[in-house]
Amino acid sequence: MISLHEELLKILHEEKKLLEVLYKIVSEERDAIVALRADELERILRDKETVIMKLSLWEQERQKLLGKHDLSDKSLSEIISQIENSEDAQRLREIYSAMKTLLSAIGEIQKINEQLIDRSIIHIKTAIKFLETFGIAPKQSLSKEA
């Protein structure tokens, strides 16, 4: 029978791999925003949604596992701190630390991406207003969600 620690290691390892992919994707997203490559940005956003969905599924698996062992009310750091010093405990700590670092980096890049998009929208609105002074109207409205 597989132990809690082994199952948790497997799940966290998969989540970490997906976070690494997500980090790469948000970095590509930043590059596409800066380069104004709309087609590439659409593909990147689809890839990002897929990875986030997969992460969500692994998170559900982790919650089921913790629930099965009556650990639903404990955070991952609490669970890891309660494990005796062993090879599994060390591996769990390493993966957990790497995941926290990745999440922090992803969050920072996401903030930058949002700022870049906001600035782009401001520039586009300014350009539209400029064109409207010459009687040229846009064919569609501008939306941040698009």
Instruction: Identify the CA nearest to 36 among candidates 109, 108, 124.
Output: 124
Q: Are 110 and 117 in contact (CB under 8 A)?
A: no
pLDDT tens per residue, range 77-131: 888 888 777 787 889 999 999 999 999 999 999 999 999 989 988 888 898 888 8
The token duo for 132 is: 């409207």
From 3.40.50.150, 3.40.50.300, 1.20.58.300, 1.10.3720.10, which CATH number describes the 4-132 domain? 1.20.58.300
pLDDT, one tens digit per residue, over 2-54 is 688 889 999 999 999 999 999 999 999 999 998 888 899 999 999 999 999 99
pLDDT digits (tens, 9 = 90+) for 45-69: 999 999 999 999 999 999 999 999 9
This prediction's pTM: 0.82
